[in-house]
Chain A
């Protein structure tokens, strides 16, 4: 069965550079979520999209932006990278519809290292 696909798996950037993370949800899933997980930390919710519209927002820095495209894939754009942005970034998708809160299917994550 198809799973959530994230690319790239690993990304190394310098401070102040820009990074773009991509997420391809499971086919026919209508909701995409982005999470950030630091070492030994719990996943922190960043942002979600339902049917290509932003549906909820967490503690996402202003330097970050995200969108969901017509084919339902999503991209997380991160600018002016800081050392503290080094983390594992997960994308997840669900087929729940707005506010229904069904289970999430997670990708394998993108490990971002900022040097």
Chain B
């Protein structure tokens, strides 16, 4: 990966449970973003957290950012079968004009 690692690489849970995905990165960042991708489809932006923020919420999504550890987590609460997808974190480095993606977590929600 151009950026770092995501953990776990795959996650399978039951509908209604919470899903947590973690992401580490390497550089100083302007912001960190999470994207979702259904198989073979385009990426969809979920949430953006800036380097001076520690936590952000959007609907059933909660993102945390720890710049001292260069890590972030995405929590999806009350998961639904429709949440089945790959989730990628991506960072926008300071002074750069590119979004660099991590390896992604493949999430499967079992009905």
Q: Do A and B bind each other?
A: yes
- 1/0 per residue A26-70: CB within 8 Å of B? 000001010100000111110010100001101100000000000
* Contact in complex: B42, A107 (CB < 8 Å): yes
For residue A100, which residues in chain B have a CB less than 8 angstroms away from its CB?
A: 30
- Give Cα distance in the complex from A58 to B2, angstroms: 9
- Whether A58 pairs with B98 at a CB distance below 8 angstroms is yes
A72 to chain B, nearest CB (A): 15
Determine whether the beta carbon of A106 is less than 8 Å from that of B42.
Answer: yes
Interface residues on A, range: 20 to 34
Does any Cβ of B come within 8 Å of A112's Cβ? no
Q: How far is the CA of A39 from the CA of B90 in the complex (A)?
A: 18
A105 engages B45 (CB within 8 Å)? yes
With known contacts A42-B88, A106-B42, A99–B102 Cβ distance under 8 A: no
Chain B 83-102 against A: per-residue CB contact (8 Å), 1 yes, 0 no?
00000100010111111111
Known: A48-B97, A104-B99. A43 touches B31 (CB 8 A): no
B106 to chain A, nearest CB (A): 9
Number of B residues contacting the other chain (C-beta, 8 Å)? Answer: 27
**What is the CA–CA distance of A48 and B2 in the complex, to the nearest angstrom?**
16
Interface status of A101 (Cβ within 8 A of chain B): yes
A108 within 8 A of B: yes
Chain B residues within an 8 Å CB radius of A58:
2, 98
Q: How far is the CA of A62 from the CA of B97 in the complex (A)?
A: 20
Distance between Cα atoms of A36 and B101 in the complex (Å): 11
**With a CB–CB cut-off of 8 A, which chain A residues contact B99?**
33, 45, 92, 101, 104
Chain B's closest residue to A48 (CB) is B97
Tell me the bound Cα distance from A47 to B24 in angstroms: 23
Q: What residue in chain B is nearest A3 (Cβ atoms)?
A: B42
Cβ contacts under 8 Å, A42 to chain B:
1-3, 88, 101-104
Residues of B within 8 A of A (CB): 1-3, 30-31, 33, 35, 40-45, 48, 88, 92, 94-104
